[in-house]
Amino acid sequence: MLHHLKCPKPLYYLAANKFMLIATTMTLAVVILLLQIAQQIAHVDELLSQLCVLRPIHLLFSAILLTATVTICLMRRPRTVYLVDYTCFQPSSSLRTPKARFLEHAHLSPFLRESTISFIGRVLERSGMGEETCLPPAFNYVDSYCCLDEARTEAELVVFSMIDDLLAKTCISLDAINVLITNCSGFCPVPSIADRIVNRYKLRGDIPIINLSGMGCSAGVTAVGLARNILQVIPWGSHVLVVSTEILSPNYYVGNKRSMQLVNILFRMGGTAKLLSTCRSKARFRLAHVVRTTIAADDSAYKCVYQEEDDEGNKGVTLSKDLVAIAGDALKAHITAIGPLVLPASELLKFLLFSVARTALRVGRRPYIPDFRMAFEHFCIHVGGPAVINSVQHGLNLSDEQVEPSRMTLHRFGNQSSASVWYEFAYIEAKGRMRKGDRLWMLGFGAGYKCNTAVWVCIQPSLDAQGPWSSCIHRYPVDVSTDG
């Protein structure tokens, strides 16, 4: 080990990361020294004789006070929340929509101009998506018109299939589900998707249900944070079912505004169901942190993902050309919030020293970006597109292997909104890369504009990683450099 100490950088990291150990050792040394001094001033026998003078009632009150203090501290301590298991929706191959078919339908559409069709073709080629991404049945027609019944049918197809898979994996009784949370941004029927789940599975009549909408691609992490908060106040050992999806059928845009066509081109079918609990039994991951950052107070950030009508009255969602830059601003603010929670002391100290030096010397160089690779073994970055993935990779100094789950998910499944990070999660497990104790950073971006984080710690890696990648994991990773 001594040869490592010849280099100042390893010595610095050793000292910084062992700060708490060094501080504890020094504190114990001071306590021992003080006890030795006290022993010289008053002999131990004299101290014991003075304690014997105390009446039993005094000792009883002291014991009660100590017990009450310990009990209150334990009650106020946050409960640990666990991920029992999760499943992802795996579309049928009959829903596969190759780029050529998508472009052919655009050519045959009576609504689209030639300039719009050319734009769609260029975006498809640079999208980073492969030929196996899937769209709902309504999109397989030249004139993609969707009524309410078709939207409900898509929702039931996605939601019911993944809940069925989750119930089969976890073997949990339906009566053991204490709370139901769903999130879907663009499809909010009456009754809600959550009500439809209760109706289908005949869940308990006293089950609280929460339906989140309009929160974009980061809503899956938001729902996990909400589940964590609820589990803190309901009886220990309860279970919360969280269902995240995006129903595309009712949100198809038929106009020629390019910024609104991007949603049609980039988003694909997907969904995920998660079971969270405060009981560690059968749990596979521990939820370490949930951090949420919103910059919606800024007008440009608020409108960078915005549902509206174009000049012809066609409803759709506009994606601003400044989206990547705004996502970068949100990530910078988010790093400030999450850094102190997850980074080792060495990186925090280094960041502080760089900040002080930068301020004192008034140097205009860019601030020091902490090395988050020292805090996490795995990264799940929202698949907003190649530009978003590249921007986060560059900003956090991540390797190609560390962003591989994001790029491969985009290639195989497309942008699945709030469910995308869970397909990346499944990719890491399907590749056999997850180890006990590994830490995973789940990073989602969404309308508002928001940047949300969930940090998971592996308790039990999957022994048989069946899931959305089971039929194709042997073909990945693939080269996506020519796709954008």
What is the pLDDT confidence band of residue 483, given thresholds at 50, 70 and 90? very low
Query: Any idea what the Cα angle at residue 384 is, between residues 460 and 472, rounded to 5°?
Result: 50
Q: What is the predicted pLDDT for the residue at 463?
A: 75
For residue 208, how far is the Cα from the chain centroid?
23
Question: At 151, which amino acid appears?
Answer: A
Confidence grade of residue 88 (pLDDT, cut at 50, 70, 90): very high
Pairing of strands 315-319, 378-381: unpaired
Range of the domain at 131: 81-460
Name the range with the highest mean pLDDT among 22-26, 64-68, 399-403.
Answer: 399-403
Q: Specify if 315 maps to a domain.
A: yes
Average pLDDT, the chain: 86
* Dist CA 219 CA 428 (whole Å): 21
Give the position of tokens 């929202």: 382
Nearest CA to 104 among 139, 138, 132, 154?
139
Q: Categorize the per-residue pLDDT at 66 as very low, low, confident or very high, splitting at 50, 70 and 90.
A: confident
**CB-based contacts of 100: which residues, under 8 Å, 6+ apart?**
none
- Whole-angstrom CA distances from 255 to 111, 240, 305, 309 are 7, 40, 17, 9
Return the CATH number at 149.
Answer: 3.40.47.10
Residue 418 reports pLDDT greater than 70:
yes
Tokens at 208, concatenated: 């609280």
pLDDT of 343 over the 70 cut: yes
Averaged pLDDT, 223-243 = 96
Share of the chain above pLDDT 70, in %: 83
**Contact (CB, 8 A) for 322 and 300:** yes
CA 78 to CA 82: how far, in whole Å?
Answer: 13
Give residue 116's identity as a one-letter amino acid code. Answer: T
Tokens of 376: 């996490």
Confirm whether 343 is domain-assigned. Answer: yes
Query: pLDDT for 325-338, tens place per residue?
Result: 999 999 989 998 99
Per-residue pLDDT, 5: 39
Q: What is the mean pLDDT of residues 308-331?
A: 92
Residue 27 lies in a domain: no
| pLDDT-based confidence at residue 143 (cuts at 50, 70, 90) | low
Contacts within 8 Å (CB) and 24+ apart, 335-338: 335/369, 335/370, 337/291, 337/293, 338/289, 338/291, 338/453, 338/455
Query: What local confidence, expressed as pLDDT, does residue 295 receive?
Result: 94
Residue 307 in tokens: 């549902």
Model pLDDT, residue 59: 62
Q: 38 is written with which tokens?
A: 């006290």
Q: Which of 452, 467, 193, 201 is nearest to 333 (CA)?
A: 452
Number of domains, the chain: 1
423 falls within a domain: yes
Lookup: tokens for 292:
């949420």
Residues 110-122 have a mean pLDDT of 93
> Residue 30: inside a domain, yes or no?
no
Dihedral of alpha carbons 228, 232, 234, 238, sign: positive
> pLDDT tier at 4 (50, 70, 90 boundaries)?
very low
Residue 410 CB partners (closer than 8 Å, separation 6+): 127, 128, 129, 383, 385, 386, 389, 420, 480
| CA-to-CA separations, 41 to 29, 47, 50, 54, in angstroms, rounded | 19, 11, 15, 21
Q: Is the pLDDT of residue 142 over 80?
A: no
Residue 45 lies in a domain: no
Looking at the chain, the whole-number percentage of residues with pLDDT higher than 90 is 65
Structure confidence at residue 21 (pLDDT): 56
Cis omega (within 30 of 0) on the bond before 468? no
377's tokens: 């073994």
Angle between helices 99-108 and 114-126 (to 10 degrees): 170
pTM of the model: 0.85
Answer yes or no: is 21 within a domain: no
Is residue 55 pLDDT above 80, yes or no?
Answer: no
Distances (CA, A) of 226 to 219, 292, 405: 10, 11, 26
Q: Lowest-pLDDT range, 26-40, 69-83, 204-218, 405-419?
A: 26-40
Q: Is pLDDT of 393 > 80? A: yes
Residues 244 and 152: their CA atoms lie apart, in Å, by 15
* Measured distance CA(244)–CA(418) in Å, rounded: 6
Residue 397 maps to a domain: yes
Long-range residue pairs from 24-30, CB within 8 A, at least 24 positions apart, any chain:
none
The answer to whether residue 227 scores a pLDDT higher than 90 is yes
Residues 6+ positions from 164 with CB-CB distance below 8 Å: none
Residue 325 per-residue DSSP state:
H
Q: Please report where in the chains the tokens 């004789």 appear, as a residue.
A: 49
Mean pLDDT of 294-314: 93
